[in-house]
Amino acid sequence: MGEALCDGAINIIERAIRERIRRLGQVAERMEEAIRIFSATASGRSAEAIIKRKKEFQDRWPQIQDVFERWSQRIHKDTHYEKFEKVIEQRAMMAGHNNYISTIKSLEADDAMEGTAWLQGIVDMILKEVWKILPSFGIKERC
């Protein structure tokens, strides 16, 4: 019962990552035009830095896409996930139902924090890799 809930959560997260990939891909496709328009209206050092970032994102989009795709395949291979999965399974069995929302709402604060740590860990690791691909953004590793 709880396994189905966890599988559903994984499916939702995988769909969300695929949607981010699709939307960011659209941004990358339109970047050339955005650079052209921005270049025509902006000047100075800050404009040059912005153009550099835009070009870097456009040029390195395939690498960024790869990061998202790799992480979408391993979101359930994490110690936080394993702990959270056990909690969800226990809660679902105790409640005797397979309702994800009810199960999540019934979590104790510590258990909910485990789920939050799992999801935040995914975000942090994706960002860690992406910021290495985009050094002109000047965002240092936060994780």
Q: Mind listing the pLDDT tens digit for each residue in 77-119? A: 777 888 888 888 888 788 776 677 788 888 889 888 988 988 8
Identify the pLDDT of residue 143. Answer: 46
In whole angstroms, give the CA distance from residue 111 to residue 4: 18
Strands (E) in 19-137, as ranges, are: none
Q: Which domain holds residue 123?
A: 2-137
Q: Are 72 and 18 in contact (CB under 8 A)?
A: yes
Q: pTM for the complete prediction?
A: 0.81
Q: Is residue 123 over pLDDT 70?
A: yes
* Closest listed residue to residue 56, CA positions, set 133, 126, 125: 133
Domain for residue 100, yes or no? yes
142 part of a folded domain: no
Q: How far apart are CA 135 and CA 18, in angstroms?
A: 24
Question: How many other CB atoms are found less than 10 A from the CB of residue 96?
Answer: 7
Residue 141 three-state SS: coil
Q: What is the DSSP letter of 74?
A: S
Give the CB-side neighbour count of residue 101, counting CA atoms within 13 A.
Answer: 0
Give a yes or no: residue 143 inside a domain.
Answer: no
The answer to whether residue 20 sits within a structural domain is: yes
> Is 53 among the domain residues?
yes
Contact 6, 86 (CB under 8 A): no
Q: Which residues contact 112 (CB under 8 A, 6 or more apart)?
A: 104
Please indicate whether residue 14 or residue 24 has the higher confidence score (pLDDT). Answer: 24
Domain count, the chain: 1
Contact 35, 26 (CB under 8 A): no
pLDDT for 13: 87
